[in-house]
Structure 1
């Protein structure tokens, strides 16, 4: 399975924002530079995260982006849904006698796998990654 690069960038952006002091907004240019991205491209990702209620945008000279929720409340599943949407990984394409098969066994099997993946992603949060990053910095 593969998620888009946008999901990867969104997760990294969320970690960067979580590591900032809570009172400070981070400019899109700074977030883009940290990941070597175009600010225009990252802005599209930030818009999706904002619409999903994960971050907020503050306009103006001192404006920028900050988390809207605590890092503990931002799961990988939340971020993935914000970027990738809610569409299932697989929708059955087979038809029988000209009718779509509503009980496709392959689709059911893939749905079970997808449910397990969503469960795992819902247990991983941004705070966990921040803690691991801080521990790594202490070790070095």
Structure 2
């Protein structure tokens, strides 16, 4: 399965927002500049996160984006669904209805072993994403790269100047 780059951008942005002081909103342009991303496209991802209640936005000269809830209450699945939508990765088109001996009254989405196997895999993937939070990621990064929180804060401070 391939997700759009917007998922990666959204996850990194949410993670970066966890290291900033509570209540500090960051403009989309500054969030985009942090990684050299196109601001208009990142803003589209931020708007999707805002519609999902993951970030909130404030307008005005001190406006921007911040997490709308604690990082321990934002799962990786929340972010993926906000950006990619809630649809399953595999869509069964009931190909078996076109095969020999097909029964037009059967819902092959339920009886097809290919469809069931793909649905199980999708559910396992979603369970794994739902079990990890942005706070979990933050803790992993802080363990592996202890300088990251300070570097992130300093980089945003430099971008504001």
TM-score (normalizing by structure 2): 0.80
**Mapped partners of 1:42, 1:3: distance in 2:** 15
Aligned-pair CA distance for 1:91: 1.5
Helix, strand or coil at the partner of 1:137: coil
Bigger radius of gyration: 2
Q: Partner residue of 2:123?
A: 115
1:124 to 2:136 alignment: no
Counterpart among 99, 108, 112 of residue 101 in structure 1: 108
Q: Partner residue of 2:146?
A: 137
Aligned pairs (5 A) from 1:1-140: 1-93=1-93, 94-96=95-97, 97=102, 99=104, 101-102=108-109, 103-135=111-143, 136-138=145-147
Work out the number of aligned pairs and report it.
Answer: 139
Aligned-pair CA distance for 1:90: 1.1
Deviates more, 1:37-46 or 1:87-96: 87-96
TM-score (normalizing by structure 1): 0.92
Deviates more, 1:98-107 or 1:87-96: 98-107
**Deviations along 1:57-81, whole A, 9 cap, x unmatched?**
0000000000011000010000001
Aligned-pair CA distance for 1:88: 1.0
**Mapped partners of 2:45, 2:25: distance in 1:** 17
Aligned-pair CA distance for 1:95: 3.8
**Mapped partners of 1:121, 1:18: distance in 2:** 19
Deviates more, 1:96-105 or 1:69-78: 96-105
**Mapped partners of 2:103, 2:2: distance in 1:** 32
**Mapped partners of 1:92, 1:134: distance in 2:** 41
Aligned-pair CA distance for 1:18: 1.2
**Mapped partners of 1:130, 1:19: distance in 2:** 9
Unaligned runs of 5+ in 2: 149-161
